[in-house]
Amino acid sequence: MNNQHLSSLQRLEQCFESIEAWNPLVNAMMIVDTDGARRAAQAADDAAAQGRSLGLLHGIPIAVKDNLDTAGLRTTYGSGFFKNHVPTKDATVVRRLRQAGA
């Protein structure tokens, strides 16, 4: 399938397939917010169907390093000391990525 014509949800599912295949080998992903990512991808697809843009990064799947706060998601900063830390706000860069439609 030509990647230029994939929906945001289809692109996201490709990312999930890659994570499933590679993460056991490279251990790069600590937390994968599948539900939140699917909701965001569906919102991007719905907006596109209505002719609206969510921003410069409309529907682009992203990964955020574990040293950046992500509201509602466990963020450990790579330390066992923070293994149960769940921030209430996004880090500025995460907020801006979301605002840009990622």
- What's the confidence (pLDDT) of residue 5? 82
Does residue 77 have a pLDDT over 80? yes
Q: Name the pLDDT band for 3 (thresholds 50, 70, 90).
A: low
Question: What's the whole-model pTM score?
Answer: 0.86
Do 41 and 8 touch, CB atoms closer than 8 A?
yes
Does residue 95 have a pLDDT over 70? yes
Give 19-26's long-range contacts (Cβ < 8 A, gap of 24+).
Answer: none
Does residue 86 have a pLDDT over 80? yes
Q: Distance between CA atoms of 54 and 19, rounded to whole angstroms?
A: 25
pLDDT digits 0-9 by tens, 23-46: 999 999 989 999 999 999 999 999
